[in-house]
């Protein structure tokens, strides 16, 4: 694997760096509600006007069509620009990274014309209706049902952990349309208008005092059959096809931010003192943990670049991505646990400490080993598909 960038890639890095420097908003992102939605959509519109919307989307569908390496560079430069928000914590994420790509691969011409342009222009918010109270990591066990009634599906059931459902216009919804089929069969992927009668949304406040999760209840919700994407009872394959657009490049932004956090913690350990007046960095255990965190962040980056390089050669994302997700989640939690040990009692405040916020990210770090497949699920994938171990 050659880690040296080509002249073209170096020029692209400079292009991305310059554009971000000139266009990133200076204001902090509102934490929730209508103001948050307006901020995220305005940023999406800025990306669209600047020619940076849908960087992984094919050019023929309005995207930038960047290579995997260029996408990695873009995410790195975004994080290094010290933006007032994160890419993966935006209410435009699902439309850009799930809904839109799924329709590109599986949708009809009419569906592509109707749904793709508004996503790129920053006109709509999508949410994901996948997880249920009894079907999270084991998504194939979902029970939210949809029965055919004429030219409509009638949906009844519940979804949970639905990020931004309370501000969303549309939802990518998985429903069981054939209850007699095996659990990964008989599922359909549909576009649900969130203003349809029969939908009830209940907001869930997280322990970090942010309200972006929701429960969604469906009571005889009628969805046109023309909203089915990828074919009736073919929803599992339709949902999995979206993975071809996410090849691990977006993790680079998180990793650059995590590396920056470790460096800030080293600075905190040098400036803060213990009860005896010594700098915390003089404590051998604190110094060891900081050095380990710095080394592990570098190792995580190397793992990610290796995966991206392999995917660029083969065209197929590998199970090694689960290694990155597992290691990243565990490392994220370790770093923010270390932050509380260094910051001490000041970290109990939810308001900024010396210009930095530590408690909220610490509480949020627990989600990194749960969302998108728990740590145990990732371990199983690595054991079976990478190490060749028998199924448990």
- Chain-wide mean pLDDT for the chain? 89
Contact at 8 Å (CB) between 126 and 94?
yes
The CA distance from 212 to 166, in Å, is 8
- Options 9, 246, 330, 384, the catalytic residue: 246
SS3 30: coil
Is it the case that residue 361 has pLDDT exceeding 90?
no
pLDDT at 53: 95
Q: Which residue from 57, 74, 73, 77 is spatially nearest to 65, judged by alpha carbons?
A: 57
- 209 vs 271 pLDDT, higher one: 271
Q: For residue 93, report the phi and psi dihedrals to the nearest 5 degrees.
A: -60, -45
Contact partners, residue 35, CB within 8 Å, separation at least 6? none
Contact indicator for 64, 50 with CB cutoff of 8 Å: no
| Residue 59 CB coordination number (10 Å) | 10
Q: Give the burial string for 332-342 (b: 16+ CB within 10 Å, else e).
A: bbebbebbebb
d(CA 34, CA 308): 36
Element (H, E) at 101: helix 100-106
3-state class of 353 per DSSP?
A: strand
pLDDT digits (tens, 9 = 90+) for 7-41: 999 999 999 999 999 999 988 899 889 999 999 99
- Span 341-354, pLDDT tens digits: 998 877 776 555 55
What per-residue confidence (pLDDT) applies to 247? 52
Asked whether 236 and 140 are in contact (CB, 8 A), the reply is yes
Would you say the C-alpha torsion 373, 374, 376, 379 has a positive or negative sign? positive
Secondary structure letter of residue 79 according to DSSP: H
- Whether residue 263 is predicted with pLDDT greater than 90 in this model: the reply is yes
Burial per residue of 352-388, b for 16 or more beta-carbon CB atoms within 10 angstroms, e otherwise: ebeeeebbbbbbbbbbbbeeebebebbebbbbeeeee
Residue 339 · residue 331 · CB < 8 Å: no
What pTM value is reported for the model? 0.88
Q: Convert 251-301 into a string of H (helix), E (strand) and C (coil).
A: HHHHHHHHHHHHHHHHHHHHHCECCCCCEHHHCHHHHHHHHHHHHHHHHHH
pLDDT tens string 50-83:
999 999 899 999 999 998 889 889 988 998 888 8
Decide if 200 is catalytic: no
The contacts found for 194-197 with CB under 8 angstroms, 24 or more apart, are 194/127, 194/165, 194/168, 194/169, 194/170, 195/169, 196/221, 196/222, 196/223, 197/221, 197/222
How sure is the predictor about 356, in pLDDT bands with cuts at 50, 70 and 90? low
- The answer for 124, left when phi > 0, alpha when psi is -120 to 50, beta otherwise, is beta
- Region for residue 62 given its phi and psi (left: phi exceeds 0; alpha: psi -120 to 50; beta: otherwise): left
Bridge partners, residue 199, by sequence: 218
Give all domains of the chain, ordered by start, each with its CATH number.
7-121 (1.10.540.10), 126-234 (2.40.110.10), 247-386 (1.20.140.10)
CB-CB contact of 84 with 29 (8 Å)? yes
* Total Cβ atoms within 10 A of residue 181: 12
pLDDT of residue 200: 98
Exposure on the CB side of residue 261, measured as CA atoms within 13 A: 27
């Amino acid at each position: 694997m050659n880690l040296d960038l080509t002249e073209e890639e170096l020029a692209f890095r400079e292009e991305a760096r310059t554009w971000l420097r000139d266009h990133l908003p200076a204001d902090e992102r509102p934490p929730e509600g209508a103001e948050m939605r307006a901020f995220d959509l305005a940023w999406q519109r800025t990306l669209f006007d600047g020619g940076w919307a849908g960087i992984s989307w094919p050019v023929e569908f309005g995207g930038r069509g960047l290579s995997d390496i260029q996408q990695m560079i873009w995410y790195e430069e975004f994080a290094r620009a010290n933006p007032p928000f994160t890419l993966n914590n935006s209410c435009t994420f699902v439309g850009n990274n799930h809904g839109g790509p799924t329709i590109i691969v599986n949708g009809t011409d009419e569906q592509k014309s109707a749904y793709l342009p508004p996503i790129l222009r920053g006109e709509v918010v999508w949410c994901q209706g996948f997880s249920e109270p009894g079907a999270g990591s084991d998504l194939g066990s979902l029970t939210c049902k949809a029965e055919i009634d004429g030219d409509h599906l009638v949906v009844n059931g519940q979804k949970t952990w639905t990020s931004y459902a309370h501000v969303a216009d549309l939802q990518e919804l998985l429903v069981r349309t054939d209850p007699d089929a095996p659990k990964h069969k008989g599922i359909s992927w549909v576009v649900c208008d969130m203003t349809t009668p029969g939908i009830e949304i209940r907001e869930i406040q997280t322990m970090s005092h942010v309200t972006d999760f929701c429960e969604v209840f469906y009571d005889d919700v009628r969805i046109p059959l023309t909203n089915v994407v990828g074919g009736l009872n073919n929803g599992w394959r339709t949902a999995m096809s979206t993975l071809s657009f996410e090849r691990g490049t977006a993790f680079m932004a998180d990793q650059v931010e995590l590396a920056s956090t470790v460096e800030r913690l080293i600075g905190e350990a040098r400036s803060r003192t213990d009860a005896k007046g010594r700098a915390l960095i003089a404590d051998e255990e604190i110094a060891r943990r900081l050095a380990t965190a710095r080394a592990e962040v570098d190792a995580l980056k190397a793992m990610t670049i290796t995966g991206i390089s392999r995917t660029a050669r083969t065209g197929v994302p590998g199970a090694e991505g689960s290694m990155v997700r597992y290691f990243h989640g565990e490392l994220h939690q370790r770093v923010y646990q270390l932050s509380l040990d260094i910051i001490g009692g000041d970290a109990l405040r939810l308001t900024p400490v010396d210009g930095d916020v530590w408690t909220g990210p610490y509480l949020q770090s627990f989600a990194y080993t749960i969302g998108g497949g728990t740590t145990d699920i990732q371990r199983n994938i690595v054991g079976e598909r990478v190490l060749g171990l028998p199924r448990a």
